[in-house]
Structure 1
Amino acid sequence: MGKSAWWAVVAMFVGLTSGACVEREAVEPVFARATAALTSASVKWINGTYTSCLDRSGSWSVRVAGSDPLDHPPLSVVRNDAACRLAITEIVGDQTYVATPVLPLGSTYEAQPSSFALSGESTAFYANAKLDDASFASDFQITVVQSDEPDVVDVGDVLATYVTVTGSAVALAVLPPNYVISFAGATPLTIQMDATKTVQSVTGSISLTDGTRTGQQYVVDATLGASPSYAQVEVAFTAGIVGGRSYLISGASPSIPASRLELTGSLATAVVRTIIVSRTVGGVLGFQLFRISFKAP
């Protein structure tokens, strides 16, 4: 998997189908879409199981990309079958990664993500998932969040959905900082929105827990893309210093106040902030990046 974290939000939209010989209406996936490319092999489909479902049992598959034959019959659920329980057992790319434990699909993310690994091998990544409508009354969506770091997807019950990518941009032999990010520190990050998904207030802070390499300074950036080069990171970091968005790090395990994220306006579509943490050795900079996407649930 490499050292860089990776993520994907996979949206599976489901439409109604019926036929002359069908006694119950069913909802079935009509397409699946990955909103970000993975840095490892692309996900092709997801496998799971039915429990206590009308007219359904055993295993299902739902396609994310490609046209290779699925492992199991396509996912479908009888309309309004609120007692039906779905769970993810495997994520399939070029190889099949098995969930431990099996990842249940409910209306909120699980309290802890599941680990995924090739059979007999160590953990390759972590994932969490949820349904937007567990009653199956109408079209529904499955959201899957994946990362190399469990803290990245351990989002819990929050007012806005956090999808975080941690990565590195390294110059020469300078290794970047290796903090661990958390939104649930002493003062958890909280976003209040109104009915139009417009930000009303942002309080709390983001916590960075020290690793073996700490940084001296960080910048909050709103311009970087998902996979920036070292040169692009350096430009954004310098612009942050010039623009007054840089902050010195003093003491262990620093906190980043919510006000420094400058979150305003609508979160109906994702708003991205990248925290760039620098470490200087002999005048050469190494960077650690935390790319955070804020979006209303």
Structure 2
Amino acid sequence: MNQSSEFQALCNLICAHTVARCIHMIAELGVADVLDDEPASAAALADAAGMNADALDRMLRLLAANGVFVREGDGYMHTPMSVLLRSDHSRSLRPFARMIGMPAIWRGVTDLEHAARTGMPALNQAQMISYLADHPAESSLFNQAMTSKSADAVAAVVETYDFGAFDRIADIGGGRGHLLQAILERTAATGILFDLPQVIDDAAGIDPRQIQLVGGDFFRDPLPVADAYILMDILHGWADDRAADILSGIHRSIPPHGRVFVIETLVSGSPGPHFGKTLDIMMLAVTGGRERTGAEYGKLLESTGFYLERVTPTESQYSIVEAAVA
């Protein structure tokens, strides 16, 4: 890479947040939903989405330069990435893009200086949970985003690991229970979905004959007894001391033969780009949590009465960290 290309590459990285914000806005305003199989002009799309035509054209031009949409004549068409912003796509990332662009989330990134100086976000995880409890529409969007973000991961997890040895499986902080339901479809087990009361209210459509819905706070309330405990995208939201509190709560309830499955995006040891490294900074800025390596999860588990049995990669960005009672 010559000096000029290094200069341009760094300029692009310095302004990369602009591309992200365009994706957030396109997702929030539903532009991908109003674009069908035929090319459509920015004016037509703007009229359908309630946007300014010139502003949308410029945003789409930038996104097309990055593979999200493509310019076709005087209009725009979908690409394999842009269709993932449609609400009706089976692997839709629209809720995830909208959630990352929510003021409460994005503000953490813009306030990154606070985290850089103190090691803590301007708004910590407990405050974020309280905020979502007071803003039910954003709380519902957050739960939708967690479901959409992990769509590929859920399929990858159930394809990778056989949970058939367990009779009762508890999904701790499981949101709408998408992973638990996928596991139970393949086993004869019964399930328990444990999450905050307002989250459980949002999951009220789940069949109670298969899954018991339990509202509570995993820092204060006893956790249900089960043979297996699933924690997907939970521990990364918390600093080590609070993550240890969650695991200790499980340790107080788990039978001696039980297993814990921590399903997270592990930080890669390779020097190149990796989603785990990006997500780690999001956690630093927004929740005060962190992404961890497999070895770091091993130390965290050992400090709370478990031992690491194995780390199993999946076909998604997630890995399955399996632990047993020490």
The higher relative CO (CA closer than 8 Å, separation ≥ 6) is in: 1
TM-score range, shorter chain: under 0.3
* TM-score (norm: length of structure 1): 0.28
Q: 1 or 2, which has the higher strand percentage?
A: 1
Q: 1 or 2, which has the higher helix percentage?
A: 2
* TM-score (norm: length of structure 2): 0.26
